[in-house]
Homo-oligomer: A and B are copies of this chain.
Amino acid sequence: MVLSEETRENERARIAELVLDLVKERGAEVPFATAINESGVSRARFEQIFIDYDDLFDAIAQSWLKPHMAAMEEVLETDLPPNRKLYEFFRRRFVISRDRFREDPEFFTNICEMGAANFERVRSYVDLADHYQCELIAEAQAEGYFAGLEIDEALSLINQMVSNYTVPDSLIYLGEKLTEQKLARIVDTMFIGLSAEAGGEATGVNTIRIAT
């Protein structure tokens, strides 16, 4: 029997959720064979739904990252000023991850390890987040922020400065040291201070220094 596209999509989502539940229960990554056994469908049917483990992992990542995707898309559609928008862009995803971490740190850690081990499958989400972030940077630059920086430069600098709030593993190491208030301070600090002119003072390239 050939699956309809709709049934296949529904089955992918259902089994991805099921595998996430199994990871939570067992405290370990679930092998492909176990996923087949636990899926409630025949091996032949399973292999119509997922070609291989990578394909299954794609569905798991899609399921896990769905709230993050929704949060980013919501923020992009708002009519907030650029600094509020960039803050919300990071904050909402951070809160989703933090709530998950607080609810079950062990499960969260396992998911992070799975993400690291299958990073190539997660890269498209990182790229999409970067793509959205570039839109926000362009909007900010239209209002005079991040002056003189190429979008890619601004993207890289911003990513480096907020990485503890976007890389989920940071929660494992820093936990309650990561707060929304600090994130807001970091975002404002970037909006106030980040431009192509920043850098000269610290490196001492300028030979004359205005007394402060």
Contacts and interface: CB of A to CB of B under 8 A. Distances in A.
B204 A84 contact: yes
Contacts of A191: 193, 201-202
A14 to B, nearest CB: 33
Contacts of A87: 202-203
A61 interface: no
Contact of A192 (B160, B161, B192): B192
Given A81-B209, A212-B144, A160 B186 contact: yes
Interface stretch (A35-43, A97-105, A107-115, A177-185): A177-185
A191 B209 CA distance: 15
Interface of A: 80-81, 83-84, 86-87, 143-144, 156-157, 160-161, 163-164, 174, 177-178, 180-194, 197-204, 209, 212
